[in-house]
A and B are shown apart, each in its own frame.
Chain A
């Protein structure tokens, strides 16, 4: 479902974030991307959800060729992705529930089902008691879990989670990783970036990709 060949990403200021990356991720895989800070993990995810486009090389995600000027197709692709952003990107002034529902409103889901699924997603991340809390009043860890709930409630074909456990204690982190792992099936792949290599459970791992200085330096199969 993801195929990268010789992908480079050079930002406007000249920073080369990714250099000659080859990558293959198949349907139903659980993939971890690790690497030191500034190594290019987020940049890689940005390419996968068309926030940035490869400066060279070819990249296909869910059958879509990632090139600029395909706006409508790109929006359609993004609707099949469940993104968890490193900085959450929750909508301010709305409740946790409204934030999760907002991620689903423009998908082809019946209104009643939207409410139900949003509720279940929030329960799964352990926020059943914070449904109507405004996201400004949530702790970092709670906000992070709302972001995860928003991603999984969409029932996406591809989950792209950027440091989803970055602000969580070990127990909560393990729960979240387990939850994300439980979502993978024949149709769904899960891609997670993390520094916390010690939390990775080898039983839930299909691929471990290590990035360093913009290069995929090591790929290990689980």
Chain B
């Protein structure tokens, strides 16, 4: 910045307390509008936080599922033990199969209990073990198609579960969420900037006498403008933080709801998701606040 030397920097630092007090005074003088702006930005950033979390979640799920180059083959219930062992052996000899292994009922139950973690109590609602034994077939991903057709054609195999269909559907959802994400990011950007720049303009207007006096006394524009930048930063970042808190609770609630009916979905860790989302939203809201108040300042200057 032109003319931004050491003296000015020192003067600026000396006045931080004053700037903060000024920003608070400006907010207090027009409290209703400021509270309204705060709630609008909170709502806007909440929507953004939820869409972004959804996007991340679906991406994470896709990644996990994609990594599992594995299919499950279920067999006829009447099959004898030795037939099952034979079946597993013949599966092992198919080209493209890495390993086929029998997973018993109890093991299937135990695995699910592990996936559910502390939510495993839901399994207690079942009277019998709801899981069947099946053959778990680890395969080479690129030979998925031929292996699938081989195995489904085998005698005794009643049903083959692969995750392609699920993956496709998830891809579709992730695509929609991504598109929605871009739309929402754009909408959030524009509306935050409009709200913040508007409130700053309003603040400048109601302080115009004071601003004029400061100009007559020779105050640099920077000195006059900074409290307003702080006001915008504060409003927007406070809105962002509130939104993160709200979104945090909503995500916790959603996880609890999803753990019941959809326990097999490999969701990312709640803590990581909320922390990342929080950092992103608060950072974004702070930037938007600063840009918005700059816009308010420059538009107020033109008139």
Q: How far is the CA of A154 from the CA of B218 in the complex (A)?
A: 11
Interface assignment of A170: CB less than 8 Å from any CB of chain B: no
The answer to whether A79 has its CB under 8 Å from any CB of chain B is: yes
Which B-chain residue is minimally distant from A101 (CB atoms)? B18
- Decide: B218 and A81 in contact? CB cutoff 8 A: yes
Q: Chain A residues near B220 (CB, 8 Å)?
A: 75, 106
Interface of B is mostly: helix
| Pairwise interchain contact A106-B223, C-beta atoms closer than 8 A | yes
Interface residue ranges of A6-27 to B (CB < 8 Å): none
- CB of B122 within 8 A of chain A? no
Give the A interface residue count (CB, 8 A).
26
- Given A72-B3, A93-B25, A83 contacting B216 (CB threshold 8 A): yes
Q: Is B32 an interface residue (CB 8 A)?
A: no
Cα distance A85–B215 when bound, in Å?
13
Q: Are A91 and B213 in contact (CB under 8 A)?
A: yes
A 90-106 contacts with B by CB, 8 A: 90-93, 102-103, 105-106
Cβ contacts under 8 Å, B219 to chain A: 75, 105-106
B218 touches A79 (CB 8 A): yes
Query: B210 to A91, Cβ gap below 8 A?
Result: yes
Contact A89 B7 (CB under 8 A): no
Q: Are A108 and B216 in contact (CB-based, < 8 A)?
A: no
Number of interface residues of B (CB under 8 A): 21
Instruction: Classify the interface of chain A: helix, strand, loop or mixed.
Output: loop
When distances are taken between beta carbons in the complex, the residues of chain A under 8 Å from B217 are 78-79, 83, 102-103, 150, 154
Asked if B210 and A106 sit within 8 Å, CB to CB, the answer is no
Identity of the chain B residue whose Cβ is nearest the Cβ of A108 in the assembled complex: B7
Most buried by B among A75, A106, A150: A106
Q: Report Cα–Cα, A82/B211, bound state, in Å.
A: 17
CA distance A77 to B219 in the complex (A): 11
Nearest neighbor of A79 in chain B, beta-carbon distance: B218
Task: List the B side residues contacting A72 at CB < 8 Å.
Answer: 3
- For residue A111, CB closer than 8 A to chain B, the reply is yes
Of B7, B214, B217, which is in contact with the most chain A CB atoms at under 10 Å from its CB?
B217
Residues of A within 8 A of B14 (CB): 105, 110-111
Q: Which of B11, B15, B29, B218 contacts A78 (CB 8 A)?
A: B218
30 A–B contacts from the bound complex (CB under 8 Å): A49-B216, A75-B215, A75-B219, A76-B218, A78-B215, A79-B218, A80-B218, A81-B218, A83-B216, A85-B216, A89-B209, A89-B212, A89-B213, A89-B216, A92-B210, A102-B214, A105-B11, A105-B14, A105-B15, A105-B18, A105-B219, A105-B223, A106-B15, A106-B219, A106-B223, A108-B7, A108-B11, A110-B14, A150-B217, A154-B217
Listed from nearest, the 7 A-B pairs whose CB atoms lie closest are A78-B218, A79-B218, A89-B213, A106-B223, A106-B219, A111-B14, A75-B218
